[in-house]
Amino acid sequence: MLDIDIESDIAASQENVSFSERYSEIRSFTERICATLEKEDCVLQSMSDASPVRWHLAHTTWFFETFVLGVFDADYVPFDPQYAFLFNSYYVHAGERFSRPDRGLLSRPTMDDVYDYRRYVNKHMDSLLNRSLERGRNESSELMRVTTVGLNHEQQHQELILTDIKHALSLNPLQPSVFHGDLPVAADVADLKWVEIGGGLVHIGTDVSSFHFDNEGPRHQYHLEPFEIASRPVTNGEYLAFVDAGGYNNQLLWLDKAWSVASAEDWSLPLYWFRDGDKWSEFTLYGPRLLDMNAPVAHVSFYEADAYARWAGNRLPTEYEWETAAAGRALRGHFSEKFVFHPVGINQGQNELRETDIFEPALDLFFGSTWEWTSSQYSAYPGFSPEAGALGEYNGKFMCDQFVLRGGSVATPQSHFRKTYRNFFPGHARWQFSGIRLAKNS
């Protein structure tokens, strides 16, 4: 499923920290983002697409127990054999699973039990990794390969923890916060400009030896027509103009299925927006905040993004256009390592965050902040072949009725992200940090 050059990955990790230290760092970050949650928060499941925080904490631990310790440590004894049923997600090859929509009904095991489970597995993983590295790279390469999958899997669930708990707490009339403190306010946004990208044959996807998910390859050629892409994402203020212009009431702007969903669910604003007297506000992981008109709009579905683009007289980029435009940029942006879990744009005084290239330094960041919808259906690249067994279920079986997002978000670890990274969600999904970057034909 995943192409990894273990030799280079091990060498890179040993330059700064050992592989076991990298394991500890990622696992600790998961618990750090949960540190201010109450136990009662962690059992909430607000919809079938989301899972309780407690389940995420246990499921990521189950992954290491099942695919690493259960395979590579002959003496390992499972923490609790029943957890294999409770905390499997969709891995058919790994056995039976508890009903996904009912995860919030599990009052047991408790949060204390789950943290004990994490400590137990961490202890055995640390011992296994250190023993394996002592035996040499040849014997440890497959162990490291699967562990690397597990670490990237954990980082994906870090993002899901943040988005899922935000959705759950947004339904609470008290509008509680997860994190505290003031959010930075974006400076006056620069005028949107258009960057011209020439057409022709381009290379899409990756064939590098370092870690990447299987759906990012194989690398292949694709013919692009010349196009232009926006220099920054759409802002809250720009999206509000669409709302004020009656965009949610104009059926001509919406795809047929999109209009059906938006009408049935009575959409009139992005998820989490609301009126607060004469001002616009939004629910954030920091509680309710005034809507920052200069920050990137977030929590819009593909359906909304597509309707906005049509209203603006433009379109969404294809994922091939997005990747081509991103190829020459430095991979810097607003990612989760900054520990500011809300899109805040970029202040004019933060130009040191970007390199000089075809995008002007004062414009908004290209990576991070919000995932950006593309018009591309999520499907296999030419020559794609998933890995055999349970790990092969990771991406390939979801290549149906989904759209590709690119760019990463405030909840995405930068150490996990790549320019070829293909996120994917159904067209109605709104609870992710998903936004809009426009494109048009040249």
Write the pLDDT tens digit of every residue in 25-52.
999 999 999 999 999 999 999 999 999 9
Contact criterion met (CB below 8 Å) for 271 and 429: no
CATH class of 194-441: alpha beta
**Token duo for residue 50:** 């989301």
Q: What does DSSP say about strands 200-204 and 220-224: parallel, antiparallel, or unpaired? A: antiparallel
Tens of pLDDT along 128-173?
998 887 665 545 788 999 999 999 999 999 999 999 999 999 999 9
Tens of pLDDT along 271-291?
999 998 899 999 999 999 999
Tens of pLDDT along 226-236?
999 999 999 99
- Beta bridge partners, 333, equal 367
Confidence at residue 329, expressed as pLDDT on a 0 to 100 scale:
85
Confidence at residue 354, expressed as pLDDT on a 0 to 100 scale:
37
pLDDT, mean over the chain:
89
The answer, yes or no, to whether residue 430 has pLDDT greater than 60, is: yes
Highest mean pLDDT: which of 10-14, 17-21, 433-437?
433-437
What average pLDDT does the segment 315-340 reach?
92
Contact criterion met (CB below 8 Å) for 267 and 339: no
Least confident of 369-383, 392-406, 407-421: 392-406
- Rounded distance between C-alpha atoms, residue 95 and residue 92, angstroms: 6
The answer, yes or no, to whether residue 71 has pLDDT greater than 60, is: yes
